[in-house]
Every structure is written in structure tokens, then in C-alpha cells.
Amino acid sequence: MLNIALPKGRLGEKVLFMFEKAGFECPSIHENNRKLIFENPECGVRYFWVKPSDVAIYVERGAADIGVAGKDILLEYQPDIYELLDLNMGKCRMAVAAKNGFRDDPKRTLRVATKFTNIAGQYYLSKGRDIDIIHLNGSIEIAPILGLSDVIVDIVETGTTLKENNLSVIETIVPISARLIANKSSYKFKSEEIETVVRELATQTEA
């Protein structure tokens, strides 16, 4: 049985569609209920819905053999997993944003609000810029508006959230997309099943 951690939400629904199209169907997952684990012994799959930011933890620790996680989470937490395939979906970018018209004063420590403290820390370290990191858990866009920070490091997809809050991107750090990941020992012991998934999903991402 292949244990698959899916990110709960819109991206997860699309990913599930891809897995089912690849032949790993699971009719019970479409029943309207609040269950979180579904299996189909005929196809040899067990799916579970988890918080998107937790997928890599399930996979790293072997509770799931494979899963789908955003590159943002992989960069931020550096889980000890294999990254097998770029699914070319859930595309967005990690960016620095600030209030419209913001001018950086290099003589002052830059206050950076973010959920992604490691990504932000590494980025500014590589630029040799002194920063004060303010870790927040959500609604990051509020920080510069209220004067809590000078800039934010966050995910930008359509740019609507920034625009509606009079903020704009000042630098792009890295493009982000959803990745198929695998537990390292599962990849050894269930290599055939996992390789089948990779092959099937790859044909869909190429198409």
C-alpha cells in the first residue's frame, strides 16, 4: 500500500485529480464527509488530507511514502526527503514587498516580517544586509501598513492581496511550485510503485 499525503485545499483537489487520472483511483474520497483517510486496496493506495505545511513532516518521518508539498515549505524547513518532480502547478513566487513608494535606507537595520524566517534570513545574508526578523503566522501584509516592519517576505500569487493593501513587490526571491516528494526509505523499498507514480504524473505535467 502506498501512503500518500495530500495538501488539504484547492491545490490538493487538483493533485488528487492527477493521481486518479494516473490510475490511482479512490472512490471513497469523493464521499461528502469529514473523514481524513481514504484507501483503495485494489489500486494499492491510501490517501490522507493534511495541512499543506505539514505534508513534508509526514513524508520525512515515513507516515506517508509520498506527498505533494510547496517548494516554499521545502526551502523553509529543508526536510530530509527526495524531491521527485515539479508538478508545475500551485505556481507563485516568494517575494519581498513593501508599501508603495518605499525606499530602503541601507544605513538602517531592515525590519522584515514573515512566516518564512529561514528563507528571508538566507536571502538577506547572501546580500550582506542587516535585518531584524519578525516572525508572524499569517496576514503578513498588515505588518508594513501598521509600521511593525519595513518590508515583508511572503508568497505572491496573483498580486491581488498586495495591491488591495497598497503594497508592491520590490524583489523576487525565488519561483515556487508544487513538488512531488518521497520518504527516503520508502523510495528504496517501494521504488517500483513510486516510480510508476512519477512516470504517470510526469506525462500529465508535460502535457
Residue 87 contacts residue 15 (beta carbons within 8 Å): yes
How large is the greatest C-alpha to C-alpha distance in the chain, in angstroms?
64
Residue closer to ligand PRP by CB (options 122, 161) is 161
d(CA 25, CA 135): 40
Q: Which stretch binds ligand PRP (CB under 6 A): 60-68, 116-124, 135-143, 177-185?
A: 135-143
Q: DSSP 3-state assignment of 1?
A: coil
Q: Which stretch binds ligand PRP (CB under 6 A): 21-29, 132-140, 142-150, 167-175?
A: 132-140
Does residue 165 bind ligand PRP (CB under 6 A)? Answer: no
- Selected binder of ligand PRP within 138, 146, 147, 192 (CB under 6 A): 138
Does residue 161 bind ligand PRP (CB under 6 A)? Answer: yes
Residue closer to ligand PRP by CB (options 85, 94) is 94
Residue 59 contacts residue 79 (beta carbons within 8 Å): yes
d(CA 147, CA 55): 34
Residue closer to ligand PRP by CB (options 39, 144) is 144
- In angstroms, the Cα distances linking 76 to 29, 72, 121, 168 are 30, 6, 10, 23
Parallel/antiparallel/unpaired status of strands 131-135 and 110-114: parallel
Nine cell digits for residue 207: 502535457
- Selected binder of ligand PRP within 13, 130, 157, 195 (CB under 6 A): 157
Does residue 154 bind ligand PRP (CB under 6 A)? Answer: yes
Q: Which stretch binds ligand PRP (CB under 6 A): 93-101, 120-128, 150-158, 195-203?
A: 150-158
Residue 2 contacts residue 193 (beta carbons within 8 Å): yes
- Selected binder of ligand PRP within 111, 117, 159, 170 (CB under 6 A): 159
Does residue 205 bind ligand PRP (CB under 6 A)? Answer: no
- Using a 10 angstrom Cβ sphere, with 0-12 exposed, 13-18 middle and 19 or more buried, the burial of residue 65 is buried
- Selected binder of ligand PRP within 126, 158, 192, 206 (CB under 6 A): 158
Residue 66 contacts residue 168 (beta carbons within 8 Å): no
Does residue 10 bind ligand PRP (CB under 6 A)? Answer: no
In the complex, the smallest distance separating the C-beta of residue 154 from ligand PRP, rounded to whole angstroms, is 5
Query: Which spans of this chain sit near ligand PRP (rule: CB under 6 A)?
Result: 138-141, 154-161
